[in-house]
Amino acid sequence: MPVPLLDVNAQNYPLHDGFSAAFERVFKTGHFIMGEEIAAFEREVLPITGASHALSLSSGTDAILLALMALEIGPGDEVLCPAFTFFATAGCVSRVGATPVFVDVLPDSFNIDIVDARAKLTSKTRAIIPVHLFGQCADMEAVMELANQHSLYVIEDAAQAIGAARHGTLAGSIGHFGCYSFFPSKNLGGLGDGGLLVANDNDLALRAKSLRNHGMEPKYYHSHIGGNFRMDALQAAFLRVKLPHYASYTEKRQANAAFYQEHLAKLPGVSFSSEASGTRLVLPQCGEGNTHIWNQFTLRVTGGRRDALKQHLLDRKIGCEIYYPVTLDQQACFAHLPESSLRGCEVSHRHAEEVLSIPIYSELNEPQKFEVVEAIAAFLN
Ligand SMILES: *Cc1c(COP(=O)(O)O)cnc(C)c1O
């Protein structure tokens, strides 16, 4: 039985009638930009962000870009961000003319290492972008302590973590801005691109809101240079169909993760820490105080055997993927950055060689999960 890495149709087909009704509703109004669907979506999504203000956007990437623009971060400024994340986190920093400074990540959580972040602070550091990678929060107490001590802005990249929490506080609502993505592979996946920016501060939210629409206030008068970062009304209507089901999607991912943890931990050479002797496969774990929403279930395969496991699974028609094979400090587009931006990311480099994500989407069925476990067992034997 094939087990795809992700099956968006398995989640979307049961909602077909809802999507059709949403399409008809928007189609008949002829109102495709902003308007009531956008307002309703922003109102309805707010509770799973925990923030006070939400702006629907064209993508998660644009959420990060817009946050940087609203904070007026630009040339001469440095922004700390993890070396082990999706490209958008740092790409946006360069796009506003600022300099990304890459920070190493922790071995077990894959999230930003604050000890390393502190070591890479300079007088030019203006902001830090913690990423809540694979669906669980970075150590936000440590991030906020560092930020408060050095007057840094905090932009949470919660693209993979909408609804995740740390000590009960929702991902994205802790820093100055929180950024989310509705790319189809994210936990709340739309029918196309979409994103969200949230803030608690009224003035910051208003500034971002104006920049979302060319800094235009009133119509055709521009005091600031913004862009077009709007979400389509159709996309907002489609996301409204999925929102009421979001909690159940998360519960199923959590159940899938628990299943893997239980069954894989019994196999020889499998543990929850790379420190344990004889470990060949390290399982991901939910960190202390975190509510993990499992956007990815990411194994670490030691001993140079990751690519062999990947091939073994693909041969059995089990989807898997390497998130991420090249760290950001090693990307060609950042090679021109000063050495101070690129040094000291050894843990990230090791992750790039060891990680492999396996299917975790909500609609996986029991036989499929057993199939994944049995294939991994066969590899380890
Ligand atoms: C997906 C993702 C983004 C970008 O979101 P898009 O909606 O694809 O633009 C940014 N950061 C991280 C960590 C992501 O996973």
CA distance 216 to 297: 43
What HEC string does 309-334 produce?
Answer: HHHHHHHCCECCECCCCCCHHHCHHH
Percentage, residues of the chain above pLDDT 90 = 98
pLDDT at position 1: 86
Query: Of 243, 262, 288, which residue sits at a domain end?
Result: 243
Structure tokens given for 149: 């001590």
pLDDT in tens, 51-84: 999 999 999 999 999 999 999 999 999 999 999 9
Locus of tokens 């969200």: 196
Q: Do residues 87 and 328 lie in contact, with contact meaning Cβ atoms separated by under 8 Å? A: yes
Percentage, residues of the chain above pLDDT 70 = 100
pLDDT at position 132: 98
Q: CA angle at residue 198 from 83 to 71, to 5 degrees?
A: 65
C-alpha 3: how far from its chain's center? 23
* CA-to-CA dists, residue 152 to 62, 126, 155, 195, 197, angstroms: 21, 5, 10, 24, 19
Residue 186 annotated as catalytic: yes
Q: Stretch 254-282: mean pLDDT, rounded?
A: 93
Closest ligand 1 atom to residue 186 Cα is: 1
267 by DSSP, 3-state: which?
coil
**What is the whole-number distance in angstroms between the Cα of residue 61 and the centre of ligand 1?**
6
In a domain, 3, yes or no: no
Examine the domain organization and report whether 250 and 159 are in the same domain. no
Examine the domain organization and report whether 69 and 92 are in the same domain. yes
* CA-to-CA dists, residue 141 to 178, 185, 290, angstroms: 15, 28, 12
Examine the domain organization and report whether 235 and 250 are in the same domain. no
Give the domain CATH number at 184: 3.40.640.10
Examine the domain organization and report whether 225 and 250 are in the same domain. no
Indicate whether 277 pLDDT > 90: no
Q: Which of 357, 244, 249, 356 is nearest to 293 (CA)?
A: 249
Examine the domain organization and report whether 218 and 260 are in the same domain. no
In a domain, 61, yes or no: yes
Domain, as residue range, for 252: 246-380
Q: Which of 104, 137, 169, 107 is nearest to 330 (CA)?
A: 104
Q: Stretch 31-49: mean pLDDT, rounded?
A: 98
**What is the whole-number distance in angstroms between the Cα of residue 89 and the centre of ligand 1?**
8
Q: Is 291 in the pocket of ligand 1 (CB under 6 A)?
A: no
Q: Is 130 in the pocket of ligand 1 (CB under 6 A)?
A: no
pLDDT at position 30: 97
pLDDT in tens, 106-145: 999 999 999 999 999 999 999 999 999 999 999 999 999 9
Q: Do residues 332 and 19 lie in contact, with contact meaning Cβ atoms separated by under 8 Å? A: no
Examine the domain organization and report whether 199 and 343 are in the same domain. no
**What is the whole-number distance in angstroms between the Cα of residue 86 and the centre of ligand 1?**
7
Of 276 and 135, which is predicted with more confidence?
135
Torsion of CA 363, 369, 371, 372, to 10 degrees: 100
In a domain, 353, yes or no: yes
Of 210 and 276, which is predicted with more confidence?
210
Annotate 105-172 with DSSP letters as a single string. Answer: B-TTT-SB-HHHHHHT--TTEEEE--B-GGGS---HHHHHHHHHHHT-EEEEE-TT-TT-EETTEETT
In a domain, 2, yes or no: no
In a domain, 1, yes or no: no
pLDDT in tens, 303-317: 999 999 999 999 999
Phi/psi at 271 (nearest 5 deg)? Answer: -150, 180
Which H or E run contains 367? helix 366-380
**What is the whole-number distance in angstroms between the Cα of residue 183 and the centre of ligand 1?**
7
Q: Which of 166, 198, 152 is nearest to 179 (CA)?
A: 198
C-alpha 380: how far from its chain's center? 30
Phi/psi at 175 (nearest 5 deg)? Answer: -85, -165
247 by DSSP, 3-state: which?
helix
Examine the domain organization and report whether 354 and 209 are in the same domain. no
Q: Which of 87, 157, 179, 196 to mutate to test the pocket of ligand 1 (most atoms within 8 A of CB)?
A: 157
Locus of tokens 């002797």: 277
Is residue 285 very low, low, confident or very high in pLDDT (cuts 50, 70, 90)?
A: very high
Query: Of 218, 243, 268, which residue sits at a domain end?
Result: 243
Q: Is 181 in the pocket of ligand 1 (CB under 6 A)?
A: yes
Give the domain CATH number at 325: 3.90.1150.10
Examine the domain organization and report whether 22 and 113 are in the same domain. yes
Cα dihedral sign, 98-336-124-128: positive
In a domain, 292, yes or no: yes
Q: Is 162 in the pocket of ligand 1 (CB under 6 A)?
A: no
Out of 28, 120, 124, 186, the active site residue is: 186
CA distance 91 to 157: 13
Examine the domain organization and report whether 20 and 113 are in the same domain. yes
In a domain, 186, yes or no: yes
Q: Which positions ≥6 away from 20 have C-beta within 8 Å?
A: none
pLDDT in tens, 191-241: 999 999 999 999 999 999 999 999 999 999 999 999 999 999 999 999 999
Query: Structural domain tally of the chain?
Result: 2
Examine the domain organization and report whether 66 and 104 are in the same domain. yes
Examine the domain organization and report whether 210 and 257 are in the same domain. no
Closest ligand 1 atom to residue 182 Cα is: 7
* CA-to-CA dists, residue 53 to 10, 123, 194, 197, 293, angstroms: 32, 31, 17, 8, 22
In a domain, 315, yes or no: yes
Closest ligand 1 atom to residue 132 Cα is: 13
Indicate whether 46 pLDDT > 90: yes
CA distance 129 to 82: 8
Query: Of 216, 243, 270, which residue sits at a domain end?
Result: 243
Examine the domain organization and report whether 365 and 309 are in the same domain. yes
CA distance 51 to 270: 39
